[in-house]
Amino acid sequence: MMLLPNSPSALIFDMDGVLIDSEPLHKRAKAEAFRRFGIVVPESVYDSYKGRSDAIVMQEILGERGASAEIIASALSLKHEIFEASEHELQPVPGAIDFLLWAKPRYRLALATSATPRNRAALLELLGIGSLFEAAVDSGQFQRPKPDPEVFLIALRKLALTAADCWVIEDTVNGLQAAKSAGCVAVAITTTFDRAVLSNAGADLIVDSFAELQSELERPSQP
């Protein structure tokens, strides 16, 4: 890992798996949608798509099996219906909201997520944290999904900051690769993958909790 630079000006957060514990429900909804079309997807395949949009998942997995555009669209719609029916059960990642409230007066905060505009708005409302973010980017605002850095480059433009000013907090391999490609410090939280996987993905800093991240940010700046 790199020697971390001085304290950032802004923190850019992924949403699913970082701020809200939604990955299990996303997986369950996708698995149920696939099941209704007679498809069983191996666990390793789901892991490879974490951090990428539902549209990409459905298009690539069903497309490889020869599904028509109509079937892919139907499966995507079904996945959304299943997810939305249970999203009221979702909980924040432990410590996430307390960390955001601590960070708000100290840093500029932004959100950069692969979620749909609808899910981004609904989940931020569910957690009651939408007003904490100065800028938010979702899948309705970019064309190239993670691991492409586009989502983070848009967030940087909205903040009018350089990559060197920003730390990105991510939980997936695709997200970390996107953050690194954007030139940001890539912070990984171990909510979705273990330390070895996150380290191999290029994480500059790995934390097990938001309390640990707060401690890192409170360390004296490097001379």
Task: Point out the domain boundary residue: 40, 66, 88.
Answer: 88
Instruction: Assess whether 118 and 211 both reside in one domain.
Output: yes
Statement: residue 1 has pLDDT above 50:
no
Confidence of residue 46 (pLDDT cuts 50, 70, 90): confident
pLDDT of residue 222: 52
In this structure, the answer to whether residues 180 and 210 fall within a common structural domain is: yes
pLDDT given for residue 86 in this prediction:
95
Burial class (CB in 10 A: 0-12, 13-18, 19+), 172: buried
Spell out a b/e string for 80-89, using b for 16 or more CB atoms within 10 Å of the CB, else e. bebbeeebee
pLDDT tens digit sequence for 140-161 = 999 999 999 999 999 999 999 9
CATH number of the domain residue 138 falls in: 3.40.50.1000
- The band of 49, judged by pLDDT with boundaries at 50, 70 and 90, is confident
Within-domain flag for 122: yes
pLDDT for res 117: 95
Question: Are both 56 and 150 inside the same structural domain?
Answer: no
The last residue of a domain, from among 36, 58, 88 = 88
Number of domains in the chain: 2
Domain that residue 198 falls in? 10-21+91-218
- Residue that the structure tokens 């993670």 belong to: 146
| 3 domain-assigned | no
Same domain for 145 and 52: no
Whole-number average pLDDT of the chain: 93
* 109 within domain boundaries: yes
Strand 185-189 to 135-137 pairing: unpaired
Strand-pair partners of 187: 169, 205
Q: Which residues contact 42 (CB under 8 A, 6 or more apart)?
A: none
* Token pair listed for 194: 């273990």
pLDDT tens-digit readout, 116-130: 999 999 999 999 999
Q: What is the pTM of this model?
A: 0.89
**CA-to-CA distance for 54 and 72, rounded, in angstroms?**
11
Report pLDDT digits (tens) over 71-110. 999 999 999 999 999 999 999 999 999 999 999 999 999 9
- Do residues 193 and 172 make contact, with C-beta atoms less than 8 angstroms apart? yes
Of 164, 174, 221, which Cα lies nearest the Cα of 57? 174
Count Cα atoms within 13 angstroms, Cβ side, for 197: 15
Domain for residue 110, yes or no? yes
Q: Is 6 or 19 the better-scoring residue by pLDDT?
A: 19
- Residue 182 reports pLDDT greater than 80: yes
Give helix 54-64 / helix 23-36 axis angle, nearest 10°: 30
Are 182 and 168 a contacting pair, CB within 8 Å?
yes
Q: What pLDDT is stored for residue 223 in this prediction?
A: 47
**pLDDT, position 75:** 95
